[in-house]
Structure 1
């Protein structure tokens, strides 16, 4: 599959067959059981009350999904989930889903989109912060409690990404690893820099959480505990995550850029 084979591009999903396909996609992406997915009846009700259930269909199969919930603030939407079929990854579908969501929200005077994600997932962090330009200023400890599928084995810590979509602009000057001191060691996440931190620092995370959980779950737990403590420490001191670095040599592991507000 590739993005060019989509039937009608990204659009709001319609009918029971497509909502069933949206359930199937969630199981393909995250595993677990039917208890772990956002069900079709809830998606149908959400559409009825003014929420967003959109996706991409290829050959009758739902291969992309984005779900947005209304919040207590009319100008803010909570983006509950974003899913892309494994065969479609790398084809730009995740970005297409988010851009559709931004346009859908703009047409309804919704100016801010927020969502949670696991702070140890480097691909998500890079997409959310570096590509979309979202920021993180809130850390939620064990937000969902015990989870299954690819989320099994760790406390379900989440950070809140806050995105205010803007017209395309020239890319901002990006800092490099060499220009920033690290608050933790890239090998295991332990603290390496004492407070007070300078106004911009990097906070390392593992490059591949799924592989680490499979081969060394104790190390994954250690990363969770160490980075949780450092995120909370930084946020309490007025820092926000404003960018994400992929982790090229010589530093090895990827890292958040934390800057003082």
Structure 2
């Protein structure tokens, strides 16, 4: 697939990105949309507004973020990334993140952060294994009920350094989701909260024989 990944520019591209965002996530409520004018402001004020365009110029992928500070550390927060269904699995998501990283570096950021659903195994693999980010915090009900998230940090300048391994957290899983049963989910949620509260960082999630294993290391 021929794809061009670059910063989006102009009302037409920002509007197309907003439409793709709502389509991929299936959002119907207007309050869950992305305002193209917000994207214009981010584009001009150290934010990231990155698109992947197909050979006909159609926006088939999109991510956006903004500069943020935590305890004196300047980082770039990636709010969302979406890829059209027909382009998923083709490497577009990785290209978007790499382009977003370039924008972040230009602002002086050392790391980039975002959240992901820790029970969605494909997302976990992409964030932790493909990109090499590490989970640093657990955020229960981040957007409301049943929206647990793990906050990851991605070093934009160096590969992740391995730390001392800690005992893993294991749970039943199907091909897509960890702990699909309510009782398993409650147990996994409690164990993840406990592990992150102890200061551990999540570095991988692997699947085998109907199980998902969460790999933790001591924070360096």
Structure 2-normalised TM-score?
0.86
Say what the alpha-carbon RMSD is for the aligned residues: 2.4
Tell me if 1:82 matches 2:40. Answer: no
Deviation at 1:35, TM superposition (A): 2.3
Equivalent residue, structure 2, for 1:208: 176
d(CA) in 1 for partners of 2:113, 2:131: 12
d(CA) in 1 for partners of 2:176, 2:142: 21
Equivalent residue, structure 2, for 1:157: 148
Equivalent residue, structure 2, for 1:259: 217
d(CA) in 2 for partners of 1:199, 1:254: 16
Out of 48, 53, 60, the residue aligned to residue 52 of structure 1 is 48
Is contact 1:120-1:205 (8 Å) kept? no
Q: Report the CA distance shift for 1:226/1:101 in structure 2 as closer, same or farther (over 3 A).
A: same
Structure 1-normalised TM-score?
0.73
Q: Report the CA distance shift for 1:241/1:37 in structure 2 as closer, same or farther (over 3 A).
A: same
Deviation at 1:28, TM superposition (A): 2.2
Is contact 1:200-1:260 (8 Å) kept? no
Q: Report the CA distance shift for 1:139/1:24 in structure 2 as closer, same or farther (over 3 A).
A: same
Is contact 1:205-1:227 (8 Å) kept? no
Structure 2 residue runs without a partner (length 5+): none
Structure 1 residue runs without a partner (length 5+): 147-154, 173-197, 213-218
Equivalent residue, structure 1, for 2:27: 32
d(CA) in 2 for partners of 1:136, 1:103: 21
Helix, strand or coil for the counterpart of 1:38?
A: coil
Helix, strand or coil for the counterpart of 2:204?
A: strand
Higher normalized strand content (fraction of residues): 2
